[in-house]
């Protein structure tokens, strides 16, 4: 069985309901931390992509300016 991270988190929270209290707390905490880590990773990847796009755009502007200056 191959689950996505979101599915795994949901399954862990569901499974925790049938566990003894101490085990349930542990599984719930692990699932919550995994979910938070996934969200932080997604946010970091989005920021990386935005910064990479900015860098490519800025590099293109520099090249365009250099070509313009060289043509004078």
> Any idea where the domains of the chain sit in the sequence?
5-71
Cα 8 to its chain centre, rounded Å, is: 16
Q: What is the pLDDT of residues 20-69, one digit of tens each?
A: 999 999 999 999 999 999 999 999 999 999 999 999 988 888 777 777 77
Better-scored residue on pLDDT, 8 or 67: 8
SS3 readout for 18-38:
CCCHHHHHHHHHHHHHHHHHH
Global pTM value: 0.73
* Contacts with 11 (C-beta within 8 Å, 6 or more apart), sequence order: 3
Residue 11 has what pLDDT? 98
CA distance 59 to 36: 34
């Amino acid at each position: 069985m191959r689950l996505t991270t979101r599915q795994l988190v949901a399954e862990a929270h569901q499974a925790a309901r049938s566990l003894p209290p101490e085990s349930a707390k542990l599984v719930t905490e692990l699932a919550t931390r995994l979910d938070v880590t996934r969200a932080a990773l997604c946010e970091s990847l989005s920021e990386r992509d935005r910064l990479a796009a900015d860098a490519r755009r800025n590099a293109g502007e520099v090249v365009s300016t250099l070509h313009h200056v060289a043509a004078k």
